[in-house]
Amino acid sequence: MSIDREGLASLRGRTSAKWRFYPPEVLPAWVAEMDFTLAEPIARALHDAVDRSDTGYRWADEVPQALSTFTRAEWDWSVDPANVIVLADVMSSIAQALVHLTDAGAQVVINPPVYPPFFSTVEKVSARQVREVPLVVSDGAYRLDLAGLEEAFSDPQVQAYVLCSPHNPTGTVHSESDLFAVAQLASAHGVVVIADEIHAPMTLTGARHHPFLSVVDGLVGLRAVSCVSASKTWNIPGLKCAQLVASDSVVEQLRDVIPLEATFGVGHFGVLGTLAAYRDGGPWRAEMLDVLDRRRRQLAEGLYRLRGGSDDLAAGVVPSVGAPAHAGGGPGCGADGEGATSGQLRAALRGARRGPRPDQLRHE
Ligand SMILES: Cc1ncc(COP(=O)(O)O)c(C=O)c1O
């Protein structure tokens, strides 16, 4: 199997946003759409559905159990299928959680530099106010500012926190102890935690993702949800299927208020693709992660050589260990989108130029 065999001519034949936003002479690299060949089990499920003319509304009943089986095998995280609400995508899941678990006009903490639609989802979709608690750089890596979070959570105007875990665009895979500290603070101050864990199955070799709800299992009083999806890892964002996993403390409340119309935003092909991904997408994902790992090393090696570094050193250099390979932003991603993309690239290049040596590699 080779997932990495699409030539430029075939890619230019694609009609999705990535390949149509810019004129044909531009090589697009602005949005999280992969250039790999679609995973065979997903392709088969979609082809079979077309052959059956099976193109009606979604029926998502099997998704919660498929997710639960996947999370148990992947992270030993027991998700009760009864706590899963299937929605169209992660950003609308975050919006539903914000609208129904906080008051109009409440403040919502996010950690810039962060995926730009976090700003617009809080402010424009949910009509809440952004409260920024930027990540801090500690020992050469981005991490959560626990003191800053505590200060923000102490403000009664702050009612929710949208955590990006793993964090896009920095690639930080938050430590279990930081996540637990966040949960304790949120629980103490009555702040709802909404964890965007869309990149979790893309965590690269050497790092370990800790699902927020598994870290905080049993913490009294915490109100939290995790928003997950197969869409980034298996490159099916256009099919529309995400899952909101609610803690026991909020699941009934959310079930009562999330409108049926929102659940009909889920695509039938999204359900079929998601089931195929969670059940049979393992080999494709393993190859994809391997390709990404090799690519980041190639990038760092090339940049390091450009700077006159020696081949020996370059062989072990990677730009960011444990990072999801995606750096969001770009057109269509909200007001900050375009600036963020070039800024992220500059930051990545700066990091790569500084080039950690092999003995400096570290996992978050
Ligand atoms: C951190 C993060 N959350 C959410 C999304 C968007 O997910 P969805 O299309 O499911 O809303 C992206 C897209 O790249 C992302 O990087």
Backbone angles phi and psi of 84, in degrees to 5? -105, 130
Give the chain's end-to-end CA distance (angstroms, integer): 31
Question: Is the distance from the beta carbon of residue 198 to the nearest atom of ligand 1 less than 6 Å?
Answer: yes
Q: How far apart are CA 326 and CA 130, in angstroms?
A: 23
Distance 32 CA to ligand 1 centre (A): 8
Tokens of 93: 């899941």
Q: Describe the crossing of helices 146-153 and 176-189 by its angle, rounded to 10 degrees.
A: 10
Kindly report, residue by residue over 204-230, the tens digit of the pLDDT. Answer: 988 999 999 999 877 878 999 999 999
Distance 208 CA to ligand 1 centre (A): 20
Question: Is the distance from the beta carbon of residue 120 to the nearest atom of ligand 1 less than 6 Å?
Answer: no
Q: Which amino acid is at 52?
A: R
Q: Which amino acid is at 47?
A: H
Q: Tens place of pLDDT for every residue, the chain, 364 residues? A: 689 989 999 999 999 999 999 998 999 999 999 999 999 999 999 999 999 999 999 999 999 999 999 999 999 999 999 999 999 999 999 999 999 999 999 999 999 999 999 999 999 999 999 999 999 999 889 999 999 999 999 999 999 999 999 999 999 999 999 999 999 999 999 999 999 999 999 999 889 999 999 998 778 789 999 999 999 999 999 999 999 999 999 999 999 999 999 999 999 999 999 999 999 999 999 999 999 999 999 999 999 888 876 555 444 444 443 333 333 333 333 223 222 333 444 444 444 444 443 333 333 2
Closest CA to 65 of 77, 50, 55, 80: 80
Number of H-type helices and E-type strands within the chain = 15, 9
182 contacts: CB under 8 Å, gap ≥ 6 = 144, 146, 149, 161, 163, 193
Place of tokens 């997903």: 42
pTM score, whole prediction: 0.87
Among 96, 232, 241, the mutation site with the greatest number of ligand 1 atoms within 8 A of its Cβ is 232
Question: Is the distance from the beta carbon of residue 328 to the nearest atom of ligand 1 less than 6 Å?
Answer: yes
Distance 119 CA to ligand 1 centre (A): 13
Kindly report, residue by residue over 116-160, the tens digit of the pLDDT. Answer: 999 999 999 999 999 999 999 998 899 999 999 999 999 999 999
Domain 63-280 has CATH 3.90.1570.10: no
Q: Where are the domains of the chain?
A: 8-38+281-359, 63-280
Helix (H, G, I), strand (E, B) or coil at 81: helix
Question: Is the distance from the beta carbon of residue 164 to the nearest atom of ligand 1 less than 6 Å?
Answer: yes
